[in-house]
Structure 1
Amino acid sequence: MTTTVIDGVIAPHDEKTRRALLCFATDLAVDNYGQGSPYKLDMGGADLSLLNTGRAPLLDGHMRQLESVLGVVETAWIEGTQGWAIARFASHSRAADAWAMVRERIVTNVSMGFFHPDADPGTDGVRLIPSWRPYEVSLCAVPANWTAGVLPQPQAEALGALVDAIEDRKKREVAEAIQAVQRQERRRWAQDAAPSVAERLGTDPALTAEAMAEAVG
């Protein structure tokens, strides 16, 4: 298992909350600063579990010191041939300076660090990384892949719609989870109350419990 970095692009999204939308990975070939043969990612092999913990850092140039933490990756997903993420910048001075450069489009390049097994040798001189697990995203001044650094970006309205759709999906998932717990609690109440209700009504306890469970949803 080895670690590697790969580059992408960043765009500001939400001024008030200091959130930015990142394209942190693509399936384009990367030369990795001339270290070894070029490689490319199999986007179907992405494991974004670490980026989706809410604990993966947004770093300054892959530096791991505490003062180099500029923010946190809140969520990440694969869309076609690209990896996307939403990161929130911290409020300390170094992060504020970085956020200002992102807003002014001075810094537009991002990179990610990721774990991966040895790459498969390719027939065209480009190694294929079949599975990969990113653990951090960084702002970077000089990307290894300038093509990735200038990938066409969707319009701001499209970015907003995409982020809103993801947030709506998360809200729906939370609401569904709450409803499931509520249904479970109502059914548990029906199960507990059924014996006394059956005794009062002179009905079968099991049938009473089943009827009460259906009644409360």
Structure 2
Amino acid sequence: MATSQSGCLLRKAKVLSWIQIVEIAIDGARGLWFLHTYPEGCIVHRDIKPTNILIDANFRAKLSDFGLSKVMEVDQSHVSSEVRGTFGYVDPEYRKNHHVNASGDVYRFGVVLLQLLSGQRARFLARGGDITQLADPKLNGEYSVEGFELILKLAFSCTGLKQQRPSMEQVVSGLEKAFEISKQVKSFTSPSLAFNGDRNL
């Protein structure tokens, strides 16, 4: 349970350090990984967004609001449902075919990652450009460029075509790698570093 001093990710994001951002991303990813590999069947959250990620007094993240969640049996590839969720976080493929599955949560989580990195509403972000222009100004350049780039690429893969999206286990692995890289940086700097992408979000 979140403590009485908890708050949603949007409110806490103003005071987060780079390391805290990565740790929160890992907590959220682990939560989704647990849901997607539940022994009785995959639980699809369907409404992953910053306001449904609670941060406690120790800056640990927990998923909340399971009102839209759906359970898939072990042998099911999807369940059908009317389109539900928050605008800006809904998987475009789900909007077309009404198929609820784990990849929709991966897409939503990718959007959240983009918001964590940039401090912007993710639909206004585009691939390409200088990483220092994509990073949240509130970080004041105090982040691991290598770790940032790794998470940025991971976020774009989450929001890509369904067939190319990673599993949440792979997302957790990538985030943990970025965390280890970030811990090894003695002083955070943000030199100009181009990130070349291939599509707009």
Q: TM-score range by the shorter chain?
A: under 0.3
Bigger fraction of residues in strand:
1
The structure having more radius of gyration, on CA atoms, is 1
